[in-house]
Amino acid sequence: MSEFTLRIVIVLPAAIFSGIVLFLASVLRRTFRHLTEAEFFAVFAQIIQYGRRSIMINSLVLIPLLSLTIYVMTVGIKDGLFIAGASLYVVGSFVLSRLLNEPNYTKLLSSNPANTAAIGVLRDKLNRGNVARAVLSTAGVLVMGLSLILN
């Protein structure tokens, strides 16, 4: 596989995943503002459960990570711009998800739906986490795309 092809294998699923996170952090976040905490819990708990089991979503995260590993092992880190973009993407798509969102997803799923104060706090944390993920992963994809154009 050529270096350019491997980069495309990294960028395409990363761009799709970033688009999904951007949609979640913008359109769905604004839509969810109109829901009560109980309604938010009912809807978002389903999103979490289906998202965790989604082969497509998990593939969109894992394919760029695995491809990036292969890329670094075979090509190295000679294109600093591409590596910088990939690093931003990894932090936005994977690291922040594991550090910020996943613990809050677990807390939300184990929450009492009647405890609206706790759900409100988790909603705020998830909103901030999703915005951070969207910004970093999208910035990473844009930097990787710029690297593709420049090389």
Separation CA 130–CA 128 (nearest Å) = 6
Number of folded domains in the chain?
A: 1
Note down pLDDT in tens along the chain; length 151 residues.
789 999 999 999 999 999 999 999 999 999 999 999 999 999 999 999 999 999 999 998 899 999 999 999 999 998 999 999 999 999 998 899 999 899 999 999 999 999 999 999 999 999 999 999 999 999 999 999 999 999 8
146's CB contacts (< 8 A; 6+ apart) are 81, 85
Whole-angstrom CA distances from 85 to 97, 109, 118, 123, 144 are: 17, 33, 36, 29, 5
pTM for the predicted model, two decimal places: 0.90
Structural domain range at position 66 = 3-150
User: Which amino acid makes up residue 65?
Assistant: L
Contact 14, 93 (CB under 8 A): yes
Chain center to CA of 27: 15
